[in-house]
Structure 1
């Protein structure tokens, strides 16, 4: 039996080259559709929590999941501003947050509003504009900020350890500093370049890329080479290997003194 001849039109269509611009446009449309669906779910979750149709625990599970998804698709689809805002939303929702009061619902709504604008934005903002957008996002402190002097200083803490990030960010917060925790040292490079913090602290021991190598690399990058940096370590032997210009902050009983010395040297207090 002679097989049927292939459809000429189908063959010709299959052989047509894919236009890169058309593909990019299609991916942007798909990204926006996905992101807007996730933002709609965030708004719905906040409304249901405000109406007591969801418990705090149920609402937080949904909000954390969607923030993580938005951060992921923002990064993979070429929307760095979406990635940055969603990362800040993740930070806001993390830590000891177990309840959503009226103020926190308003704050998360503000995050969603910013994300909605970023999703529809056609052009990438420059570093200065990005910095301005991110710095105006709500910040949640783990304690009553009326008891301390709050500084307009943002510190990026790069560590995979949840225990270390909890302890250090609590200490930094008690001193009035905002902390952005990044678990992945590779991801921290992109975040630091796009949104330079006022200081970077990196754990000495991390999988894939240690803190010493990370800070050396960051120091060599023009956009952030002037950013104050410090190595967080429990090993006294690491002190002698630290390049000039990078401070050492030892965990444990020495943390307070070492951190104070770094803040004084870099004039951040």
Structure 2
């Protein structure tokens, strides 16, 4: 366990590093706005830099910074276009994170803070009306997560993607999503493990849960899936299954 004095020093050094990356971030935003930088290349570079900071902040248990940088990384991942809306959102992130450098704690509910942060939508979905519904997607496969996220964003929902199963419980407790969707096959934990865990914890048992799988419900691998969980089949029926699950849980 890190003692308070050492932790304080580590936090100060960490925040200084965040401040340095933010300075670079602001310069890059200016270059993108002027059209003198490549969005894809800069997006990848910034995603890598903020991903490292996010991991460090998580170890130091700086909750608001962890949530903000997770959402920022979600926004930056595979960024290819720097539209005025994108630049406005990224500038907002810069302002928020800089505020957290100056004061890492906030007099605000973590869930409300998370929902206040911008989320990226595909350019062809810009006209979709956004609703205050947040869905946590636990899916390590980038291709699958993109497809599922797009379906959800087409409905106007906010999507938070979690790549590692072990991170999902803490984020669920902190951000209180309106629904959790997890792939049946993950890493250290399976989607079935998560369904059972979330269903057993008082703080998360009321959150609707759906499993993403290619198997039928009566398959032996899904024997321990709670009956309250919805089943989303990968493939052509996914859209219909998603609509049924949203209706089942009263999410509109």
Shorter-chain TM-score above 0.5: yes
- What displacement does 1:263 show? 0.6
Distance 2:117 2:105 in 1: 20
- Counterparts of 1:147-226 in structure 2, within 5 Å, are 147-226=127-206
Query: Structure 2 regions of 5+ residues with no counterpart?
Result: none
Aligned to 2:93: 111
For 2:136 and 2:3, how far apart are their aligned partners in 1? 37
Q: Is the 8 A contact 1:157 1:181 kept in 2?
A: yes
CA–CA distance in structure 2, aligned partners of residues 206 and 28 of structure 1: 32
Q: Which runs of 5+ in 1 are unaligned?
A: 1-18
Give the distance between the partners of 2:223 and 2:189, measured in 1 at CA.
Answer: 19
Residue in 2 that maps onto 1:85: 68
* Deviation >4 Å, runs of 4+: none
For residues 147 and 38 of structure 1, the distance between their equivalents in structure 2, rounded to whole angstroms, comes to 33
CA distance in 1, matches of 2:170, 2:179: 15
2:214 paired residue number: 234
**Partner of 2:77 in structure 1?**
94
Report the Cα offset of residue 194 of structure 1.
1.1
Give the greater-gyration-radius structure (CA): 1
Q: Distance in 2 between matches of 1:21 and 1:239?
A: 45
Q: Indicate if the aligned counterparts of 2:62 and 2:104 stay in contact, CA closer than 8 A.
A: no
Matched, 1:256 2:239: yes
Counterpart-to-counterpart distance in 1, 2:235 and 2:35:
43
Q: CA separation in 2, counterparts of 1:209 and 1:83?
A: 22
Question: For the Cα contact (< 8 Å) 2:57–2:65, is it kept in 1?
Answer: yes
Q: 1:61 to 1:122 in 2, by over 3 A?
A: closer
Matched, 1:140 2:93: no
Q: Distance in 2 between matches of 1:149 and 1:112?
A: 25
Give the number of aligned pairs: 248
Q: Deviation at 1:239?
A: 5.3
* TM-aligned CA deviation for residue 180 of structure 1: 1.4
**Who is 1:120 aligned against?**
102
Distance 1:122 1:144, change over 3 A: closer
The Cα shift of 1:114 comes to: 0.8
TM-score scaled to structure 2, two decimals? 0.90
In structure 2, relative to structure 1, the CA distance for the partners of 1:150 and 1:57 (3 Å cut) is closer
- Distance in 1 between the 2:141 and 2:214 partners? 13
Q: Distance in 2 between matches of 1:256 and 1:122?
A: 40
Partner of 1:15: none
User: Residue 113 of structure 2 aligns to a residue in which SS?
Assistant: helix
